[in-house]
Amino acid sequence: MTGAELGRDTVLVSCAISAGVHGALAPEHFGESTAAGVGFVASTAALAAVVVAMTLRPASVLALAGAATVLGGLLVAYALATTTGVPLFHPEPEPVDGLAIATKIIEAIGVAAAVAVLAERTRRTRPIPLFLTSMIALFSAMVTLAVTTSHTGHTHGHETHHEHHDE
């Protein structure tokens, strides 16, 4: 595997993970506002489009530049969302959380890899199969749902059971 192939694979995996996380969090953000939910769906769609484009045309400079742009845009959007808010989408600053930070680190790695590959401009490639990147996105979504569901404080009826015994 060449450095360019590893770089492209890193970009693909970064985009797939980010797509899974954004897709899994879209319903929660629709609960905050329609605009925020639409932003997460649009992010998921853009990331998925980049993954498909890079898989079908691994030597495409345009697809690689698109990946760097989408991932970089998500990094900037999160920085704004946590500091000043994002007008229309999330006007008030949101708190920083661990899942978001982990996702942003993965996206930053993807941007760095895209920039490195673009700088190298190597044409020989071997893409990760689209099925594998789809599985990565699905796994990321499942992990995100598991993590966010466990932090919502659901007790699954245990409080009622304890309250019953205290009477």
Q: Tokens 């071997």 identify what position?
A: 126
How many other CB atoms sit within 10 Å of the CB of residue 33?
14
**CA–CA distances in Å: residue 55 to residues 124, 125, 154:** 13, 10, 40
Instruction: Enter the pTM of the model.
Output: 0.76
User: Would you write out the chain's pLDDT as a tens digit for each of its 167 residues?
Assistant: 788 889 999 999 999 999 999 999 999 989 888 998 999 999 999 999 999 999 999 888 999 999 999 999 999 999 999 999 888 777 888 899 999 999 999 999 999 999 999 988 755 556 678 888 888 888 888 888 888 876 555 433 434 444 444 44
- The set of residues, in sequence order, having a beta carbon less than 8 Å from that of 9 and lying 6+ positions away, is 1, 127, 128
The domain limits of the chain are: 3-166
The amino acid present at 54, given as its one-letter code, is M
Q: Tokens 């996206």 identify what position?
A: 107
Q: Distance between CA 13 and CA 24 in Å, rounded?
A: 17
Beta bridge partners of 86: 90
Tokens of 61: 């400079």
Beta bridge partners of 90: 86
Task: Please provide residue 90's backbone torsions phi and psi, each rounded to the nearest 5 degrees.
Answer: -155, 80
Task: Please provide residue 92's backbone torsions phi and psi, each rounded to the nearest 5 degrees.
Answer: -95, 145
In angstroms, how far is CA 153 from the centroid of its own chain? 24
- pLDDT score, position 166: 47
- The set of residues, in sequence order, having a beta carbon less than 8 Å from that of 16 and lying 6+ positions away, is 47, 51, 133, 134, 136, 137, 140
